[in-house]
Amino acid sequence: MANPRPTSPHLQIYKLPLSGLNSISHRITGVFLSVGLIGVVYILWAISGGITAYQNLQTVMNLGVVQVLYWGFIYALFFHLCHGVRHLLWDMVKGFERDTLNRYAILEIVVALLLTLFTFVITG
């Protein structure tokens, strides 16, 4: 028996606004940062573990996949920071107009990319 009630449009029909996509990305980067803390603990352990542990760390860090994950972690950190600043503005009841929402959403992506690029440049 077919259901006579109409179904609600979902993600196949409804296009999320950029601020909604940023909100989802903020949650994903938060999870990525939490998982990435295991890597930070490994780095600290290797630094405190002596020369052999540090050399092993250097070998692991020079792998291409680890480099991509590392820079993804840095970008996630800056994106999470920028989105947090945006939430602080919202806590002050600022930036809720549609044009402002889109402008800030683009700005937080661009600033996170620029901060990541800046970090890449200054670290050599």
pLDDT at 11: 63
Q: How far is CA 105 from CA 19, 30, 57, in A?
A: 6, 17, 37
DSSP 8-state assignment for residue 14: P
CB-based contacts of 18, cutoff 8 Å, min separation 6: 101, 102, 105, 106
In the block, residue with structure tokens 């920071």: 81
pLDDT at 5: 73
- What are the average pLDDT values for consecutive 10-residue runs of the chain, which has 124 residues? 70 81 94 95 95 95 95 96 93 89 94 97 91
pLDDT at 1: 61
Q: Give residue limits of the domains in the chain.
A: 20-122
Which overall architecture, per CATH, does domain 20-122 show? Up-down Bundle (1.20)
pLDDT at 71: 95
